Each structure stands twice: as structure tokens, then as C-alpha cells.
């Protein structure tokens, strides 16, 4: 069995699916931590100060990443997630005037896009379905090593913001890892084997593989995942040490 501890990195030629496979599962993990903290509370975003507030005890300074605006001429659909609209990056700031300190992370994403030829990071705006915004920002959140993101309603916009905060506690259990990975690879369009490898490494765990299965070593526990020749998940098993 090979012990493979190379870094997870963006490479030229990585497409949207590859980037989501590499970075999305870590972000999905951390979204669960954020949800555990805020529950059903609704956040209110102040675009001037960059403060996202849920209640008197929970508020975060945030980075403005991008925003989604529904296409007023698009047909009504039963599921709002299927609505076609326009995505705009906050780094495209000339006509808006966001405080430069609030869009530093958005600017980083543009710079990464320029370095690696990732068009979706360098196009100032483009058409997108609403549910694809979440896939996009999961990728961004993982790349930037954020603790979470939030989509705040501001007028007719959904403004996606990045969060870093010690208030958001992390669950590093093997059970959490298994459940997050299983749900993510099932519900998002990713390469499951690549996701398992990158999620393991980004969490700081030991990753090993052979021709038949891959292993994530989480403390004394083990997650063993089997894949088809095409890299699709066939089974996942957790071995725990009492």
C-alpha cells in the first residue's frame, strides 16, 4: 500500500469539477460546523461594515465574495434552486464601490484564476443557476481555507460572503468525516476517489491507497473506501479503536 502525502494543489487545466472534487468536501464539512452554531437563525449583512449578524452573541466580520441576481426575464420554476440568474464577483468593483478591505478574498480568487487559467474566476459576471452558486462557493471556500460561507439576502441580491471565526468549532471525529464524505460525493458532481484523497489530506490526515481501496487514517481510526475502475465509490467502512 502506497503512503501518498503530496500536497493538494491547483494545477493548470483543472476544470470546475476537478476543483470542486479537490476543495469542496472540506468546505462542505465546515458548513456543517457553521450550521451547528447558527441553526435556523437568519443572518443580516451590513455591506458597509462587512459584519454578518445572527443575534447579539453571534456575528462575524466577513469577506464579500460575489453575488447572485435572478434574471427578471427568466421563466418561473417550481424549485428556486433551478432559477437562472447572473453571478458577479465582488472584485469587479469599479461601478459598485465596496470597501477594498472587504473584497481581498475575492481579489485572491481572481489572481488564482489568472495564474492557473480558470475562466470562471476571471470572468466578472456570467449566467448561472442558483444551486450552482453553492458549488462554486464551496470550491472557493475550500481554496481559501475558510470556516464557512453564507448567502445573505440584500434587496434583490443573494450576497455570498466568506467567514473565518473561532466561534465556529470543528468536529474532527472519524464519524463526521465518513458522513460528510458520503453525503458530498453523493449530492455533488465530483470525482469521488479524488475527493476522498484530497479531503483526507486537507484535513491533515494520513492517506494511503492501493489498487483496490483507499484509506484515511484519523488518529487511531481508519476509513476504508473502495472504488470502481472509473473512481466511483462502491463502499466505505469505518474501523474504530475503543
pLDDT digits (tens, 9 = 90+) for 161-187: 999 999 999 999 999 999 999 999 999
Residue range 126-153: average pLDDT? 97
pLDDT of res. 77: 55
pLDDT of res. 198: 97
pLDDT tier at 60, thresholds 50, 70, 90: very high
Q: For residue 220, is pLDDT > 80?
A: yes
Q: For residue 103, is pLDDT > 70?
A: yes
- Higher pLDDT: 73 or 65? It is 65
pLDDT tier at 78, thresholds 50, 70, 90: low
Half-sphere exposure of 179 (CA within 13 A, CB side): 9
pLDDT of res. 5: 63
pLDDT of res. 74: 52
| DSSP assignments along the chain, one per residue | -EE--PPP---TT--HHHHHHHHHHHHHHHHHHHHHHHTTPPPEEETTTTEEESSSS-EEEEEEEEEEEE-TTSPP-SSGGG-EEEEEETT--TTT---GGGSHHHHHHHHHHHHHT-HHHH-SEEEEEHHHHHHHHHHHHHHTT-SEEEEEEETTEEEEEEE--TTS-----HHHHHHHHHHHHHHS-S-HHHHHHHHHHHTT-EEEE-SSEEEEEETTEEEEEEE-TTS-EEEEEEE---
pLDDT of res. 81: 59
What the chain holds in terms of domains, given with CATH numbers, is 16-163 (no CATH), 171-239 (3.30.160)
- The three cell numbers locating residue 37: 452554531
Return the bridge partners of 70, or none.
85
Amino acid at each position: 500500500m502506497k503512503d501518498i502525502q503530496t500536497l493538494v494543489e491547483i494545477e493548470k487545466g483543472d476544470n470546475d469539477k476537478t476543483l470542486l472534487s479537490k476543495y469542496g468536501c472540506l468546505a462542505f464539512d465546515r458548513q456543517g460546523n457553521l450550521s451547528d452554531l447558527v441553526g435556523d437563525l437568519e443572518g443580516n449583512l451590513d455591506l458597509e461594515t462587512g459584519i454578518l449578524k445572527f443575534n447579539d452573541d453571534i456575528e462575524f466580520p466577513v469577506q464579500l465574495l460575489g453575488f447572485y441576481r435572478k434574471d427578471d426575464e427568466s421563466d418561473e420554476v417550481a424549485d428556486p434552486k433551478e432559477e437562472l440568474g447572473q453571478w458577479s464577483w465582488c472584485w469587479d468593483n469599479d461601478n459598485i464601490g465596496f470597501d477594498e478591505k472587504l473584497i481581498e478574498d475575492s481579489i485572491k480568487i481572481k489572481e488564482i484564476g489568472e495564474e492557473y487559467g480558470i475562466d470562471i474566476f476571471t470572468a466578472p459576471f456570467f449566467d448561472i443557476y442558483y444551486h450552482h452558486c453553492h458549488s462554486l462557493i464551496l470550491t472557493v471556500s475550500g481554496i481559501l481555507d475558510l470556516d464557512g460561507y453564507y448567502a445573505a439576502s440584500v434587496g434583490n441580491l443573494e450576497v455570498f460572503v466568506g467567514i473565518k471565526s473561532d466561534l465556529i468549532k470543528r468536529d474532527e471525529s472519524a464519524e463526521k468525516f465518513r458522513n460528510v464524505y458520503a453525503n458530498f460525493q453523493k449530492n455533488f458532481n465530483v470525482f469521488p476517489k479524488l475527493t476522498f484523497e484530497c479531503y483526507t489530506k486537507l484535513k491533515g490526515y494520513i492517506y494511503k491507497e492501493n489498487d483496490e481501496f483507499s484509506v484515511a487514517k484519523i488518529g487511531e481510526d481508519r476509513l476504508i473506501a473502495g472504488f470502481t475502475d472509473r473512481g466511483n465509490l462502491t463502499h466505505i467502512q469505518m474501523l474504530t479503536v475503543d
